Amino acid sequence: MRILWGFLSGLVFGLGLVISGMADPAKVLNFLDLAGSWDPSLAFVMGGATVTAFIGYRLVWKRSTPVLDQAFDIPKSRSIDRPLLTGAALFGIGWGIGGFCPGPAWTALPLLAPGTLIFLPAMLVGLWGGAQIKALGLLDAKGAAT
């Protein structure tokens, strides 16, 4: 049952990305192009997602446990440290260069959007490389090279 709900959630998310046009990297890149052909539609999509998440969290936090799990999986760390800022910067740079973030990139794959076949493998290599760097202990707890 949990797999079915996960699939349906992903399907709704993917359909929302396609319907809103966010599977098209040109829409994202035009949102980032403030001095050129700026397209504010991404701001409306993000605003709608923010309102939906706000309402959803208010409803979910009233429950003692999630519907499909034993406990809520809440991050324990609330610190803003070097690894968080570095990861956020790399994510943002990749998003700005490619016009994709991970969700829309996977959604655009069956649409064969230009750049998807390059972006997704590069993203997967980056995820693997980051995991290898952490596993090898090449960074200390603060994110500095050892």
Q: Which pTM value belongs to this model?
A: 0.65
pLDDT at 16: 87
Q: Is the dihedral of CA 94, 97, 103, 107 positive or negative?
A: negative
Cβ proximity of 87 and 93 under 8 Å: no
pLDDT digits (tens, 9 = 90+) for 5-37: 889 988 998 888 888 888 888 888 888 888 888
132-143 per-position pLDDT tens digit = 888 887 766 555
- Quick one: pLDDT band at residue 145, thresholds 50, 70, 90? low
Contacts of 137 by beta carbon, 8 Å cutoff, 6+ apart: 146
- Report the distance separating Cα 141 and Cα 33, nearest Å: 36
Under DSSP, the state recorded for 145 is B
Percent of the chain residues past pLDDT 70, beyond the cut: 95
Q: Supply the pLDDT for residue 53.
A: 92
Domain ranges for the chain: 2-135
For residue 44, what are its two tokens?
């409306």
